[in-house]
C-alpha cells in the first residue's frame, strides 16, 4: 500500500475504534451517525459510544435539539450514564425512557432543582427514586450564606427520598457548616474531622457503602489540635478504620477575625486518587503524590515558598490552570539576588504549561518575581495576572523593559483589565480618544491621558482604580 495514499477508511475497524474512543461520544454520534458511509455509521452504533453521554461541555443548542429529536430515542436502551448542565436535565430525561440509566452527574446544580424534581410529585420521580443509584451534584454557587439553605432543601431530602442511591457525590465551593444535619462532614468547627468521625458519622450509618470518595478540610484554632498532632497522626486514624487509599495534610494559614489577623490550622483528609478539580490551603508540606485532576489550586503558608516548592507544584499538578498564592513572607534566597543580576540563575527553570490565571494579590513581591522571571519560571499560556499594586509589577518588570520578564508578560491581556474597565467608563462621553491611540493600554500609560484627567501619574490612576474596586 502506498503510504502517501492512505486514508482514514483504509484502516481496519479495530484501529478506527481506537481512534474514535479518544473522541467525546457526543461528537461521534452527532457527526457519524447516519453519515453516508456504512462502515462509520455502524461503528458509531457501537454500545461504547452511547453508554456514557457527556453534554456538560455542549453549548450549541442545535446539537441538543438533534439528540433529543432524533438520536436519543434510537439509542435509549444503551444509555447508562448522563452528564449534563441542569438547564438541559428535564428536556433530555423526558424525551424518552432509558431503561438502563442508573448514573447522573448534574452540573451547575441549584436548590430549585431538588424541590422541582426530587419529590413524589415530580415528572422525573420514577427516574430519581427507582432508577438512579449513582448521583453526582456539582454546585458552583459560591455564596456561603446559601449553604444552610442547600442543606435543608437539597442534601438532606436527597438522602431521605432517593433510597436506591448507592453512590452520592457532592462537589461544592463554599464552606459547609451544617455538619449535624447531614452525613457529609464538611463543617468548620473547633475539632479535626478524622477517621474516628468518618467511622461514627458516616460508615456506621451506611453498612452497604462500598466506595467513599471524599475531600474534607476543617479549620481549627491551633490550640485545639492535640499535642504534636500531624498529618501522619490524622492519616493513621483513617487507616485504623480500614481506609487504605487515603492521605492527609495539616497546614497553618492566616485568618482575619474581628479586624485582627491570626493563624488557624487547615486539616485536610482525602481519598486517593484525588478526584476533585479544586484544592485549597496547600502548604509547604504536602504528600508526594500526583493530583491529576486539579486545575484550581490555592497555596498558603506562614513560612516562605521557595523555588523547590514551586518545582514540586509543577510536578504534582500537571494540569494546573488557576493558581492563587497567599504568602506575605519573603523568599530567603530570592531576597539576596532579586534584581541584583538578571543573569544570575541558581535553579533549574520551572514550566507550568497550562497555567492561564495567576493571582498574587495577597503575596510578597518575591512571588511576582518567581513567576514573571523566565530564568525561574515559564508560563507560556498565562493570560490573566491578578495583583494588588502596580508598583510591584513595574518594579519587577522595570516598567516592562526588563528582558527576563518580557516573555511571561507577552500575553498580558489581563494585566490592565481592571484598569481598562474603569478607564473606559471614565472616558465614556467625557474624553475623545485620539484616533492614533488604537490601544487603550497605550493611551492609559501616555502622559496626554494623565494631563486630561488631572493626575500626576498612571500609578495614581491605578491606585484609584484599586480603591474603587
> Is residue 394's pLDDT more than 50?
yes
The predicted pLDDT at position 70 comes to: 94
Name which of 82-86, 132-136, 338-342, 345-349 the model is least confident about.
Answer: 338-342
Across 274-289, average pLDDT? 91
> Is residue 247's pLDDT more than 80?
yes
The predicted pLDDT at position 307 comes to: 94
Query: Who's near 343: CB < 8 A, 6+ residues apart?
Result: 375
> Is residue 434's pLDDT more than 80?
no
Q: Give me 56's grid cell.
A: 456538560
The predicted pLDDT at position 120 comes to: 75
What is the three-class DSSP state of 282?
strand
> Is residue 179's pLDDT more than 80?
no
User: 357-385, pLDDT tens digit by residue?
Assistant: 999 988 999 999 999 999 999 999 988 88
Residue 335 falls inside a structural domain: no
- In this prediction, residue 449 has a pLDDT band, given cuts at 50, 70 and 90, of very low
* 299 within 8 A of 285, measured Cβ to Cβ: no
Residue 423 has what DSSP assignment? H
The predicted pLDDT at position 146 comes to: 55
Name which of 278-292, 324-338, 422-436 the model is least confident about.
Answer: 422-436
The predicted pLDDT at position 61 comes to: 92
Residue 51 falls inside a structural domain: yes
Length in residues, the chain = 469
The predicted pLDDT at position 256 comes to: 59
The predicted pLDDT at position 319 comes to: 95
Residue 37 falls inside a structural domain: yes
Residue with the bigger pLDDT between 209 and 228: it is 209
- In this prediction, residue 71 has a pLDDT band, given cuts at 50, 70 and 90, of very high
Long-range own/partner contacts, residues 251-255 (CB < 8 A, 24 or more apart):
251/281, 251/282, 251/283, 251/284, 251/285, 251/286, 251/300, 251/301, 252/222, 252/283, 252/301, 252/302, 253/219, 253/281, 253/283, 253/300, 253/301, 253/302, 253/326, 254/300, 254/302, 254/326, 254/328, 255/219
The predicted pLDDT at position 188 comes to: 36
**How far apart (Å, rounded) are the C-alpha atoms in residues 404 and 453?**
33
Averaged confidence pLDDT in the chain: 76
Q: Give me 428's grid cell.
A: 465614556
Residue 449 falls inside a structural domain: no
Question: For the chain, how many structural domains are there in total?
Answer: 1
Residue whose entry in the numeric block shows the C-alpha cell 488631572: 454
- In this prediction, residue 248 has a pLDDT band, given cuts at 50, 70 and 90, of confident
Residue 248 falls inside a structural domain: no
Residue 2 falls inside a structural domain: yes
Q: Give me 112's grid cell.
A: 430549585
**How far apart (Å, rounded) are the C-alpha atoms in residues 302 and 253?**
6
Residue 238 falls inside a structural domain: no
Residue 4 falls inside a structural domain: yes
- In this prediction, residue 225 has a pLDDT band, given cuts at 50, 70 and 90, of low
Host domain of residue 63: 1-80
Amino acid at each position: 500500500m502506498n503510504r502517501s495514499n492512505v486514508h482514514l477508511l483504509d484502516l481496519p475497524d479495530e484501529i478506527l475504534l481506537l481512534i474514535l474512543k479518544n473522541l467525546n461520544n457526543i461528537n461521534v454520534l452527532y457527526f457519524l451517525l447516519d453519515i453516508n458511509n456504512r462502515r462509520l455509521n455502524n461503528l458509531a452504533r457501537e454500545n461504547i459510544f452511547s453508554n456514557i453521554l457527556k453534554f456538560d461541555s455542549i453549548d450549541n443548542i442545535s446539537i441538543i435539539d438533534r439528540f433529543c429529536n432524533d438520536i436519543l430515542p434510537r439509542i435509549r436502551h444503551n444509555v447508562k450514564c448522563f452528564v449534563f448542565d441542569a438547564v438541559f436535565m428535564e428536556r433530555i430525561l423526558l424525551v424518552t425512557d432509558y431503561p438502563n440509566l442508573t448514573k447522573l452527574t448534574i452540573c451547575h446544580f441549584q436548590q430549585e432543582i431538588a424541590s422541582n424534581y426530587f419529590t413524589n410529585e415530580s415528572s422525573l420521580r420514577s427516574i430519581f427514586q427507582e432508577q438512579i443509584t449513582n448521583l453526582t451534584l456539582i454546585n458552583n454557587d459560591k455564596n456561603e450564606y446559601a449553604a444552610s439553605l442547600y442543606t435543608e432543601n437539597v442534601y438532606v431530602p436527597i438522602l431521605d427520598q432517593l433510597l436506591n442511591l448507592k453512590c452520592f457525590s457532592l462537589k461544592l465551593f463554599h464552606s459547609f457548616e451544617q455538619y449535624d444535619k447531614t452525613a457529609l462532614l464538611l463543617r468548620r468547627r473547633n475539632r479535626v474531622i478524622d477517621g474516628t468521625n468518618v467511622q461514627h458519622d458516616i460508615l456506621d450509618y451506611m453498612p452497604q457503602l462500598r466506595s467513599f470518595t471524599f475531600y474534607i478540610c476543617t479549620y481549627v484554632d491551633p490550640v485545639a489540635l492535640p499535642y504534636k498532632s500531624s498529618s501522619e497522626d490524622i492519616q493513621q486514624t483513617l487507616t485504623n478504620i480500614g481506609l487504605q487509599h487515603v492521605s492527609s495534610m495539616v497546614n497553618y494559614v492566616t485568618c482575619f477575625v474581628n479586624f485582627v489577623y491570626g493563624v488557624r490550622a487547615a486539616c485536610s483528609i482525602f481519598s486517593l486518587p484525588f478526584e476533585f478539580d479544586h484544592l485549597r490551603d496547600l502548604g509547604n508540606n504536602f504528600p508526594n503524590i500526583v493530583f491529576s485532576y486539579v486545575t484550581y489550586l490555592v497555596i498558603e503558608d506562614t513560612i516562605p515558598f521557595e523555588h523547590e516548592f514551586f518545582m514540586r507544584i509543577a510536578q504534582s499538578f500537571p494540569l494546573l490552570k488557576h493558581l492563587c498564592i497567599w504568602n506575605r513572607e519573603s523568599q530567603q534566597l530570592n531576597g539576596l539576588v532579586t534584581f541584583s543580576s538578571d543573569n544570575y540563575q541558581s535553579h533549574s527553570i520551572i514550566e507550568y504549561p497550562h497555567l492561564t490565571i495567576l493571582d498574587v494579590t495577597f503575596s510578597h513581591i518575591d512571588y511576582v518575581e518567581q513567576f514573571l522571571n523566565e530564568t525561574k519560571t515559564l508560563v507560556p499560556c498565562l493570560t490573566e495576572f491578578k495583583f494588588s499594586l502596580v508598583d510591584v509589577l513595574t518594579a519587577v518588570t522595570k516598567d516592562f523593559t526588563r528582558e527576563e520578564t518580557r516573555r511571561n508578560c507577552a500575553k498580558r491581556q489581563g494585566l490592565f483589565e481592571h484598569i481598562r474597565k474603569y478607564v473606559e467608563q471614565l472616558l465614556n462621553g467625557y474624553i475623545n480618544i485620539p484616533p492614533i491611540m488604537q490601544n487603550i493600554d497605550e493611551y492609559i500609560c501616555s502622559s496626554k491621558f494623565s494631563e486630561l484627567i488631572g493626575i500626576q501619574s498612571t500609578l495614581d490612576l491605578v491606585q484609584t482604580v484599586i480603591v474603587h474596586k
